[in-house]
Structure 1
Amino acid sequence: MMIPELPAYLTKLGGREYVGLIIALFTLTAGVSRPFSGKITDTVGRVPVMAFGSIVCFVCGFLYPYLLTVWGFLTLRLIHGFSTGTKPTATAAYVADVVPANRRGEAMGTLGLFTAMGMSLGPAIGSWLADDYSMNVMFWTSSAFALLSIGILLRMPETLVNRQPFRFSLLRLKKDEIFDKQAVPPFTVQLLQAFSSGVVLTVIATVSMSLGIANKGLFFSVYTVASLAVRLLFSKASDRYGRVPVLLVSSTALAISMVLLTITDPADPNAYLWFWSAAIVYGMSWGMNSPTIQAWTADLSDEATRGRAMATMYIALEAGIGLGAVASGWLLNHFAGEAGIDASFILSGVLAIVAVLYLSWKWRQRQPPETHRMNDADEMALVDGEP
C-alpha cells in the first residue's frame, strides 16, 4: 500500500539521496531475521511467528506519521522489515504442512493468489489515499489492515506437532541452523530473480511520473493482476510439468519484461505500450515464479526443518531485493537522466538470463530427478488412493 509513495515522501523529508535505502533497510532486517524465524517456526510454532510479523506491521504503520526526520523514517523502515522476515516464512511452512506433497504447487499458487490480490489493490489504494486525503491516512489504513490479519490468525489452529515454549535460548543459532543446504537451488534462482524486484520497487515510480501517470501505484496493480491471472490459470503447472521447467519460463519472461522497461522512453509514441506490456509480462513471470519456488523448496526440505528451508529461500528474496534497491539507488544518483534507470533494468535483465542458464544446467543434470520428497503420511495417502 505505501511503497509507491515512499520515495516522494522521503524526498520531502530531505532524504532524496537515501531513496535506495527505503527497500534496502527493510529487506536487511527481513533477511537477518529469517534464520531466527525459521528456527522459531520449527520449534515454537507456525501461528505465533505469523502473529509476530503482523503485530510488527501494525505498530510500524501506526508510527510512520510521528517520525518526521529522515533518520527516524529510515530507522522505522529497518524495524518494519521484521514483519516480512517472519510472517511469510511461517505462512509457507504452514501451507506445506496442510496439503499433500503432490499438490504443493497448486497450494502455493492459491496462497500466492491472495497475496497478489492484496498487492494489486494495495498500491492503487495507497496512492489514492495519499493523493485525496493524506500520507498519514494511508499509513494508518495500512496499520488497520495488519490489525485485521492478527484477528484472523487468532482463530487458526497450529500445525506444528512437537511444540516447545518460547525461550530466549532458541535465539542462539548454531552454524547449521542459519542456512539449509538442501535449499541451495531455489536460493540461487530466487536471488537472481529478486534483484529485479528491488529495482522496480525503487525506480518504477520515477518512470511512471516521467510518462505522466499520476497514480504511481498503477504499475504494481497491473503486474499483480497479471500475476493473479497466471496463478488462476496455471496453478497446477509445476505439479504437472516440474518445478525447473516452469522456472525456466518465468525467468525468460522476467528478462523480456526488463527489456521492455529499458526501451520505454517518454519521447517514444509507443512508450505506454512498452510500459504496460512490461507490467503484464513482469506479473506473469512472478505469477509463475513465486508459488513454484516455494513448492520446490518444500520438496527439497525435510519436514523437521521445513521452516529453516523456507527461511533460506526467503533470505535470497530479501538479499536480491535489497541489492537491487541499493544498486538502482546508486545508479540513479551517479548517472544523469534516463541512463541510471536504463542501467538498472539492463542489469536486472542480465541476472534473469543468468537464472535461465543456471536452470538449464539443473534441467540437464536431472540426477536425481526433481520429484517430491514425501513424508510417511503423504506416501500412505497415495497408497490409500486419497488425493
Structure 2
Amino acid sequence: MLCLSSFLFFASFNMIIPELPAYLTSLGGEDYKGLIISLFTLTAGLSRPFSGKLADKIGRIPVMVFGAGICFVVSLMYPVITSVAGFLLLRFVHGFSTGFTPTGVSAYVADIVPFNRRGEAMGLQSLFGSMGMAAGPALGGYIGQIWGIEPLFYASAFTAILSILVIIRLKETMQDPEKMSRKHLRLHRHEIIEKRVLQPSLVLLLTVFSFGTVLTIIPDYSEYLGIQNKGLFFAVFTLSSLGIRIIAGKTSDKYGRIPVMKVATLSMAIAMVLIAFAQSKTMLMLGGVIFGCSVGMNSPTISAWTIDLSLDAYRGRALATMYIALEAGIGIGALISGWVFANKAENFPLVFSLGAITAIIAFFYLFLLPKEQRFLVPEDKE
C-alpha cells in the first residue's frame, strides 16, 4: 500500500514538469525557467526540519497526508493563477509536498523493515516512486499534447487525491504519537540538522546537482534535438533505474553502502558527459539510460546509509537532513543550469558538463571517508 501511494504521489507532481517551461514562457516568464525547479526544491528543503520533527512526534502518516494534500490543492490552483509572479509563488508552495511526504514514507519503511534488509526495502520503495516519476512525465507529455495544459493540472490533482486515499488506510507505526500543537512548530538549533548523517548527505548533494540540471534543461534540449514528447527522456532514464534499484539495495546490504556509491557516482559522471555532447536522439537516450542506472543505485543506497547512521529516536530528523541535501543539490543544479544556459543552444555542453564535475568530486570524496564508514555493512552493526 505504501509503494502504491508513493507511485501516485510522485506521478502527481512529476507529470506537469515537461510542460512547465513552455507554460511559463507563454505567461511571459521565459527568463525564469531556472526557478521552476529551484523554488520548488527551496521550499522542500526549508520544510524538511519541520517534517522530520513532526514525523518523530505526531507520526509518519499525518506527515505523508499533509504533503500529498499540498499537491492536490496547488495543482488545482495552477489554471486559476496566470501571472508569472503567481506561477512562481505556486511553485514555491508546491515544494511543501516533497518536503513532507517522502520524509514520512522513508521513516515508515525504516520502522517496519529489519536492518539486514534495509537496502533492499529502500530499493523496493524507491522503485515504485521511480515508476511514478517515469509514468508521470510520459503521461503528462501526452495529456499536454492532446488536451492542453489545464486538463494536465487537473489530472495531477486527481492523482494526488488517490495517493491520500491509499495512505489513510495504513496503520501508524509510531508508538504513542503526540497530538499536534504549536510547540511542534518551534525548532531548536539542534533539531534542524542531524550531524550523524552529514557524510551521506554531502554525497547526495553533489550527485543530485545533475538531477536539477536535467529537470530544468532537458525539455529545451529535447526540443532542440527534434524530440516532440519532452517527457520521453524522463521516462527513459527513470525506467532504466527501476530494475537496478532492488539489485543495488541488496548489494549494499551484503557488501556495504560505499562500494555501490562509488559505482553510482562514476556512472553519473559518464552519463552527464554523454548527454552534454549528444548530437542525436539515440545518443541522448543512451546517456539517459546510464543516468537512470546511476540514480537507481544512488537513491536506495544513500537512504539505507543514512538510516544506518541514525538513532531510532531521531530517524525522522536524520532523513529530513538527507532530504535537505537532496533539495539543496537539485535546487542549486536547477538555478545554476538555468543561469548558465540563458536560452542559448551553444551552452548545452557546458551546462551538462557541470553535472559531470560534481559527480566526480563525490566519487573522490568517498575514498576520503573514515575506514569504518567505507566498510559499514549490516553485520558490523549487529
Q: Could you state the TM-score of these two structures normalised by the residue count of structure 2?
A: 0.94
Residue 273 of structure 1 corresponds to: 282
Q: Within the alignment, does 1:370 sit opposite 2:360 as a pair?
A: no
8 Å contact from structure 1 (residues 299, 374) kept in 2: no
Cα distance in 1, alignment partners of residues 346 and 323 from structure 2:
31
Cα distance in 1, alignment partners of residues 284 and 267 from structure 2:
15
Amino acid at match of 1:17: D
Shifted more, 66-75 versus 223-232: the winner is 223-232
Count of matched residue positions in the alignment of Structure 1 and Structure 2 = 368
User: What SS class does the counterpart of residue 172 from structure 2 fall into?
Assistant: coil
Among 347, 356, 377, the alignment partner of 1:349 is 356
Q: How does 1:213-292 map to 2 (within 5 A)?
A: 213-265=227-279, 271-292=280-301
Q: How does 1:276-355 map to 2 (within 5 A)?
A: 276-333=285-342, 336-339=344-347, 341-355=348-362
Amino acid at match of 1:134: G
8 Å contact from structure 1 (residues 299, 373) kept in 2: no
Cα distance in 2, alignment partners of residues 141 and 222 from structure 1:
22
Residue 360 of structure 1 corresponds to: 367
Among 87, 91, 101, the alignment partner of 2:115 is 101
Cα distance, 1:203 vs structure 2: 0.4
Question: Unaligned 5+ residue runs, structure 2?
Answer: 1-14
Cα distance in 2, alignment partners of residues 367 and 92 from structure 1:
21
Among 164, 171, 195, the alignment partner of 1:181 is 195
Q: Within the alignment, does 1:202 sit opposite 2:216 as a pair?
A: yes
Cα distance, 1:5 vs structure 2: 0.7
Among 88, 92, 95, the alignment partner of 1:78 is 92
Cα distance, 1:99 vs structure 2: 0.2
8 Å contact from structure 2 (residues 254, 378) kept in 1: no
Cα distance in 1, alignment partners of residues 336 and 271 from structure 2:
19
Residue 114 of structure 1 corresponds to: 128
Cα distance per residue 1:273-306 (max 9 Å; x no partner): 3211100000000000000000000000000000
Cα distance, 1:235 vs structure 2: 3.6
Amino acid at match of 1:337: A
8 Å contact from structure 2 (residues 140, 152) kept in 1: yes
Cα distance per residue 1:238-266 (max 9 Å; x no partner): 1011100001100000000000011113x
Cα distance in 1, alignment partners of residues 42 and 188 from structure 2:
21
Cα distance, 1:368 vs structure 2: 8.1
Cα distance in 2, alignment partners of residues 329 and 45 from structure 1:
38
Q: 1:210 to 1:336 in 2, by over 3 A?
A: closer
Question: Unaligned 5+ residue runs, structure 1?
Answer: 266-270, 380-387
Amino acid at match of 1:65: P
8 Å contact from structure 2 (residues 248, 301) kept in 1: no
Cα distance, 1:229 vs structure 2: 1.9
Cα distance in 1, alignment partners of residues 327 and 350 from structure 2:
21
Cα distance per residue 1:71-103 (max 9 Å; x no partner): 111000000000000000110000000000010
8 Å contact from structure 1 (residues 38, 89) kept in 2: yes
Bigger Rg, structure 1 or 2: 1
8 Å contact from structure 1 (residues 192, 320) kept in 2: yes
Cα distance in 1, alignment partners of residues 256 and 224 from structure 2:
41
Cα distance per residue 1:199-249 (max 9 Å; x no partner): 000000111111111000000000011000212444411101110000110
Amino acid at match of 1:279: G
Amino acid at match of 1:280: V
Q: Could you state the TM-score of these two structures normalised by the residue count of structure 1?
A: 0.93
Cα distance, 1:372 vs structure 2: 4.0
Cα distance, 1:162 vs structure 2: 3.3
Cα distance in 2, alignment partners of residues 168 and 351 from structure 1:
40
Cα distance in 1, alignment partners of residues 379 and 125 from structure 2:
21
Amino acid at match of 2:371: Q
Q: Within the alignment, does 1:20 sit opposite 2:20 as a pair?
A: no
Q: Within the alignment, does 1:172 sit opposite 2:186 as a pair?
A: yes
Cα distance per residue 1:131-176 (max 9 Å; x no partner): 1001011110010010001101111000111311110111111111
Residue 102 of structure 2 corresponds to: 88
User: What SS class does the counterpart of residue 368 from structure 2 fall into?
Assistant: helix
